[in-house]
Amino acid sequence: MIALSSQQIRDWDQYTIQQENSTSLILMERAANACVQWMTAHAIPGEKPVFIFCGKGNNGGDGLAIARLLSERGHTVIVYIIEFGKVGTPDFQANLQRLHENNIPVHYLQEDVPLPLLPVGSWIIDALLGTGANRFPEGRMAALIHHLNQTENPICSIDLPSGMLADRSVPANSCITATVTLSFQCFKPALLFADNAFAFGKVVLLDIGLHPDYLNQITPLYEAIDRSFAASIFQPRGEFSHKGHFGHALLLAGSVGKMGAAILAGKACLRSGPGLLSFLNPTGNQAILQIALPEAMCLTAPANYNVYRAVGCGPGLGTSPESTAALKEVLNNTDRPLVLDADALNLLAMHADWQPLVPYFSIVTPHPKEFDRLAGSSSSESERWQKAIDLARSRGWVVILKGHFTLIAMPGGKAYFNTSGNASMAKGGSGDVLTGMLTGLLTHGYSSEQAAILGVYLHGRAGELASIGYGMESSLATDTIEQIGAAFKEIGA
């Protein structure tokens, strides 16, 4: 899976047309057929009328083709076209002619025509605006969108909810609020952003047979991380391995009242494959750690930080003078990539002059508020994602911006979104688990990029497995840790 920009999608259409010696009208028919097959199998009941609202662009042409195909399958179809006094695109006009030939009723919403009242429970198909839209709706279009949203009927949007721009976040009340969005071939960036979730509902990707060779010629805007991708990175242990092969991890974590975070990170680290784990805790709570984690060691002050293959910093660390001094010492004495989370990131935000001390290819794992403290506030998730990509390039870090589709931005400019995980993980401690896993994977010998991709996927999958056993409400970060092994088994099978 990938996400492409609106321009890349248009280019893919044209490439397919050229390679197959086809036409855009044929592609439109493919898209309409894919939509109707899904609708008749999953959604639209046969006994109620279907109301289809079309603009005069190619998205509207999709809607007209869908109307014809649904009618052929016995559905009662009523089409409304919003009228601005201009002729539609050629493909729209071709499908309009086909509708007339099949005697399907078409109504034109002129400026002075009242907007239609729709029976409760009937389905609405939204084909007003597609990926070509480059500004938010105004006037009559905005009024129609508002009217459809007020009906409370289920709405099926074609490709994108009308009014949503393909590459960015949208403000509330600016677009159709869809029950389901049937999008073609790949994700559009707008369908990945949490602040758009109010509008796109359930997203279904439909394969319409665009030519696959196009993807060999471009760099997708974002690439998905899924099970097969994670499995391609996984490195199984050799039969003659010993603990020295898998390195020594160090965690700078914990403070008074926050030792639980250190324990979670430590348990997750140990479940992720390092040979050894030591803790550095600046507030003298070593006894808690040694009771909770007998497999780990505790230190007061390492003589040489570079004996550790990876150092993770931040879970439960706090921002006390002791914690501040301990992080500064790590930054001054380590040249290997670090994993930085939670209070380590807050301290970096408080001491911006420390940021150049962070080694290249370090992994930083902020949630949105931590990221805004680090990189400046953002007005939308699309802006925040772009800032994360820019920060990864400028600092040479791997930036993991946590969210529903966690973004991983690489120093070289590539960006990925993760497909595992669910809302059961929206609880305290989940981030500490991820920090521990990433530290363990780095210690095991994975590169920073590999550790980030593998760690984020496994973390999400372990959370999914935990929620199967305990439910979305009741699963805890500790339950996620208990499922790390099962997640490893899945990709190593």
pLDDT of residue 79: 97
Q: What is the pLDDT of residue 493?
A: 61
How buried is residue 159: exposed, middle or buried, by Cβ count under 10 Å (0-12/13-18/19+)? buried
Tell me what the mean pLDDT of segment 285-298 comes to.
90
Determine the average pLDDT of the residues in 332-349.
Answer: 96
Q: Which residues pair with 248 in a beta bridge?
A: 276
- Asked whether the beta carbons of 153 and 130 are under 8 A apart, the reply is no
Q: Is the pLDDT of residue 174 over 80?
A: yes
Q: Looking at residues 374-402, what average pLDDT do you find?
A: 97
Tell me the average pLDDT of the chain. Answer: 94
* 361 residue type, one letter: F
What's the chain's length in residues? 493
Mean pLDDT check: name the lowest of 28-37, 145-154, 240-249, 468-477.
240-249
Distance in angstroms (rounded) separating the CA atoms of residues 275 and 242? 8
Q: What is the pLDDT of residues 94-119, one digit of tens each?
A: 999 999 888 888 999 988 888 999 99
Distances (CA, A) of 76 to 71, 102, 463: 6, 13, 44
Closest CA relative to residue 305, chosen from 360, 265, 250, 356: 250
Residue 48: what pLDDT? Answer: 78
Question: In angstroms, rounded to a whole number, what is the distance separating the alpha carbons of residues 205 and 171?
Answer: 24
- pLDDT over 80 at 46, yes or no: no
pLDDT at 286: 82
CA angle 291, 293, 296 (to 5 degrees): 115
- Nearest C-alpha neighbor of 194 from the set 385, 371, 54: 385
pLDDT of residue 86: 86
Q: What CATH number should be reported for the domain whose range is 2-220?
A: 3.40.50.10260
Give per-residue burial for 244-259: e unless 16+ CB within 10 Å, then b.
Answer: eebbbbbbbbbbeebb
3-state SS, residue 54: strand
How would residue 221 be classed by pLDDT, with cut points 50, 70 and 90? very high
Give the residue ranges of DSSP H helices in 278-421: 286-292, 321-333, 343-350, 368-375, 381-395
Task: Report the percent of the chain where pLDDT is more than 70.
Answer: 100
Determine what percent of the chain is predicted with pLDDT higher than 90: 83
The closest of 434, 438, 435, 444 to 248, measured between CA atoms, is 444
> In angstroms, rounded to a whole number, what is the distance separating the alpha carbons of residues 164 and 183?
13
As a whole number, mean pLDDT of residues 129-158 equals: 92
The model's pLDDT over 438-451, given as tens digits with 9 standing for 90+, comes to 999 999 999 999 99
DSSP 133-153: --S---HHHHHHHHHHHHT--
At which residue do the structure tokens 């995980």 appear? 421
pLDDT of res. 171: 86
Residue 458: CA atoms inside 13 Å, Cβ hemisphere, count?
36
Pick the CATH number of 227-492 from 3.40.50.300, 3.30.40.230, 1.10.510.10, 3.40.1190.20: 3.40.1190.20
69-96 average pLDDT score: 93
Kindly state the tokens that stand for 201. Answer: 């509902």
Quickly state the pLDDT bin for 71 (edges 50, 70, 90). very high
Query: Where are the CATH 3.40.1190.20 domain residues in the chain?
Result: 227-492
pLDDT at 61: 97
- Asked whether residue 241 carries a pLDDT value surpassing 80, the answer given is no
Query: Residue 483 has what pLDDT?
Result: 98
Domain with CATH 3.40.50.10260 in the chain: 2-220
Strand partners, 223: 2, 416
Residue 235 has pLDDT above 70, yes or no: yes
CA–CA gap between residue 374 and residue 438 (Å, rounded): 20
Mean pLDDT (whole number) for 60-83: 95
Phi, psi of 6 (to 5 degrees): -60, -35
Distances (CA, A) of 233 to 49, 237, 457: 50, 13, 11
As a whole number of angstroms, the distance between CA 170 and CA 199 comes to 9
Residue 304, pLDDT > 90, answer no
Q: Which residues contact 91 (CB under 8 A, 6 or more apart)?
A: 24, 25, 28, 58, 61
Neighbours of 143 (CB within 10 A): 15
Strands 297-299 and 310-313: unpaired
